[in-house]
A and B are shown apart, each in its own frame.
Chain A
């Protein structure tokens, strides 16, 4: 669950009015990036932070108290001078814009509560949405889904329609959260477009050595990891301390029970067709964002032949990435895990994954390889 949705749940449970402060824009060296949130309740309780504490949070708390009295949203812009920046642990200053809005947890039809319930439902269904807020002092929230479905309002139907079109384009381009100005003959309004995507989950079939590195690296990338195997002695907490979930049983049946959204990445490292075939029968016809299988080209071709005989189409089979991972010359199990996760990131971002350097085509020299034997 995202930081914001987790906090909202607690605020709604509290049943008291509170102000939501969202860092919508940050320029220069700032300790937190756009999307950081903090709640200030009517009773003065604080949840979360938009900086790392210090003068900015203090100012936001003051503004939150005012917003709770006026019941009107406010955009607060703050410049951090070098001196203030030092005080909160930075070496130079920056500028932050924080949107502060009232939320009435006692009111089930509070616009923000309604909007974020829609966000939560969309995420549970594996959909990505944008929650759009006005930065011109107007209240409300419009939630636009990747299917074009909308929920909530920004207070004007014409504006909602205009914003929905823009948001859909940004969703399709996978644009991150940020500030944008929309304009038409009727409107000229700055907005904050807040992206909410289902949690990324790497589902790893085969509790082998590569899987151990995968769980560690994936966690660093902010992904949940799920390890699946039919063998109790391999799929253990001792071997996979970093895994979020470990499942032992019939892998194909576990695959049917696990979420299969575009944010789910299926990684087959069992190197055994007894798991690969049954899991692929499910994964290749599901909505998952990535399907990769460890193995040689020959092995991959054999697996694809078997699936083709069963009626899998060329398009379905083309989803299978095998041999798995980017070509970085991986030799150790950790390097293979690195190559796999790099490929997943590239697929997620729609990149072909060449090196950024113009010397990209230069191969590793023999001397360099010799210095680092496998």
Chain B
């Protein structure tokens, strides 16, 4: 399979890291693109004492860009402070893909981050983070 978006996307699409779901995540949230149909869910295990993500996993029925972005993001999230997750820059997530992402496909790349932020927000809502 070829993608016009470069080797890193293809590598993470074909061999995604941290793919799967957690039986009992500390926080979980789904992101979807209502028109193209991309769906991704991020599961987080939280070390509440340290206030960091101890493990991150994802499930996606999504395009190569979105799957690769979720794979890269979940690698990055492990060990990250919850405050830092909320402050993660979209441009940084897109840059991590190491490819020119057209404007029309940018949301595919940022959907996993959107889901991760929402998952962290549920913890904040419950006064955990």
- Partner of A231 from the list B14, B37, B59 (CB cut-off 8 Å) is B37
Contact A272 B37 (CB under 8 A): yes
- Cα distance A231–B1 in the bound complex, in angstroms: 25
Contact A229 B37 (CB under 8 A): yes
Contact A232 B34 (CB under 8 A): yes
Interface presence of B62 (CB below 8 A)? yes
In chain B between 16 and 56, which residues have their CB closer than 8 angstroms to a CB of chain A?
30, 32, 34-35, 37-39, 41
Interface presence of B63 (CB below 8 A)? yes
- Cα distance A283–B35 in the bound complex, in angstroms: 25
Interface string of A32-52 (1 = CB under 8 A from B): 000000000000000000000
Interface presence of B124 (CB below 8 A)? no
In chain A between 305 and 352, which residues have their CB closer than 8 angstroms to a CB of chain B?
305-306, 309
Contact A233 B14 (CB under 8 A): no
Interface presence of A302 (CB below 8 A)? yes
Interface presence of B76 (CB below 8 A)? no
Contact residues in B for A309 (Cβ distance below 8 Å):
14
Contact residues in A for B30 (Cβ distance below 8 Å):
250
Interface presence of A252 (CB below 8 A)? yes
Minimum CB–CB distance for B64 against chain A, Å: 8
Interface presence of A274 (CB below 8 A)? yes
Contact residues in A for B66 (Cβ distance below 8 Å):
274
Contact residues in A for B1 (Cβ distance below 8 Å):
302, 305-306
- Partner of B32 from the list A230, A272, A302, A306 (CB cut-off 8 Å) is A230
Contact residues in B for A272 (Cβ distance below 8 Å):
37
Contact B61 A275 (CB under 8 A): yes
Contact A274 B34 (CB under 8 A): no
Interface presence of A152 (CB below 8 A)? no
Contact B35 A233 (CB under 8 A): yes
Interface presence of A102 (CB below 8 A)? no
- Partner of A253 from the list B32, B38, B59, B63 (CB cut-off 8 Å) is B59
- Cα distance A252–B41 in the bound complex, in angstroms: 12
Interface presence of A249 (CB below 8 A)? yes
Contact residues in B for A305 (Cβ distance below 8 Å):
1
Q: Check A250/B61 contact, CB under 8 A, given A230-B39, A309-B14.
A: yes
Contact residues in B for A275 (Cβ distance below 8 Å):
37, 61
- Cα distance A231–B33 in the bound complex, in angstroms: 8
Contact residues in A for B35 (Cβ distance below 8 Å):
231, 233
Interface presence of A111 (CB below 8 A)? no
Which A-chain residue is minimally distant from B59 (CB atoms)? Answer: A250
Q: Which of A231, A249, A252, A302 has the most CB of B within 10 A?
A: A231
Contact residues in B for A230 (Cβ distance below 8 Å):
32, 37-39, 61
Minimum CB–CB distance for B72 against chain A, Å: 17
Which B-chain residue is minimally distant from A275 (CB atoms)? Answer: B61
Minimum CB–CB distance for B28 against chain A, Å: 12
Q: Check A274/B37 contact, CB under 8 A, given A302-B1, A306-B14.
A: yes
Contact residues in A for B34 (Cβ distance below 8 Å):
231-233
Contact A250 B37 (CB under 8 A): no
Seed contacts A231-B35, A250-B30, A250-B59; 15 additional CB < 8 Å A-B pairs: A230-B37, A230-B38, A230-B61, A231-B34, A232-B34, A233-B35, A249-B39, A250-B61, A251-B39, A251-B61, A252-B59, A253-B59, A272-B37, A275-B37, A278-B61
- Residue numbers of B with Cβ under 8 A of A are 1, 14, 30, 32, 34-35, 37-39, 41, 59-63, 66
- List the 7 closest pairs (A to B, CB-CB), nearest first: A230-B37, A230-B39, A231-B37, A278-B61, A250-B39, A274-B62, A251-B61
- What are 6 inter-chain pairs, A to B, with CB distance below 8 A? A233-B35, A249-B39, A252-B61, A274-B37, A274-B63, A275-B37
